[in-house]
Structure 1
Amino acid sequence: MKYIPGKLNRLFTNYGMLPKDVIYDYPRVTMIGNIHLYIENHKGLLNFNEHEIIIKQDQGTIRIKGKQLVIKNLLAEEIVIEGVIDSVGWESSNT
């Protein structure tokens, strides 16, 4: 679902009709311990090595740092990362 402008967004989210991640096209991040990370609604991979993975989002980037990081699954809108995850951070874009 694409971004719905203005008051319609607030109507859908304030009255519980649709979750905010759907309306605003936000990523959904699920982490199991520090060994497994599942991200839905990503917009692509910007950088990858065994110590850092950077994932593009409409509103910025998600930066994962750790050791022995591997991408177990990469699909059009979801990604699964495993390894020893030290940090997951969000960097907003200025647009």
Structure 2
Amino acid sequence: MGKWQQQMKNWLMKKADLPVDVIMDLPRITMIGQLHIYIENHRGLLVFTDTEFRILLKHGQLFIKGNSFVIKTILPEEILLEGNIEHVFFIDNE
């Protein structure tokens, strides 16, 4: 993204009072302890096992390790994962 586009987005975000995740097309990740993780604005499920979970983001991937994983909700842009979450990693594609 060019510097001018970034400046326009920052200006629009301040003037319109919009959340950063909406303007920048970033994922919103909410964890409740080590039991639940709710991910919004993802691009698709890549890997799912009872110990590993990986989803595609606009800029990279989100990789979660743990055990006893169960997908409670899956929608086009939202996922609720339950289980014992041990590690959460961002993998950058650049």
- Taking structure 2 as the reference length, the TM-score comes to 0.89
* Counterpart Cα distance in 1 of 2:6 and 2:81: 34
Q: Which residue of 2 aligns with 1:85?
A: 85
Q: Larger % of helix: which?
A: 2
Q: Which residue of 1 aligns with 2:42?
A: 42
* Counterpart Cα distance in 1 of 2:80 and 2:12: 29
Work out the percentage of aligned pairs sharing the same amino acid: 43
* Counterpart Cα distance in 2 of 1:42 and 1:66: 20
Q: Which residue of 2 aligns with 1:30?
A: 30
* Counterpart Cα distance in 2 of 1:34 and 1:6: 35
Distance 1:18 1:85, change over 3 A: same
Root-mean-square deviation over aligned CA pairs = 1.3
Structure 1 ranges of 4+ moved more than 6 A: none
Report the count of equivalent residues: 90
Q: Which residue of 2 aligns with 1:12?
A: 12
- Taking structure 1 as the reference length, the TM-score comes to 0.88
Moved more, 39-48 or 15-24: 15-24
* Counterpart Cα distance in 2 of 1:45 and 1:51: 15
Q: Which residue of 2 aligns with 1:75?
A: 75
Q: Unpaired runs of 5+ in structure 1?
A: none
Write the letter of the residue equivalent to 1:10: N
Report the 3-state secondary structure (helix = DSSP H, G, I; strand = E; otherwise coil) of the residue aligned with 1:6: helix
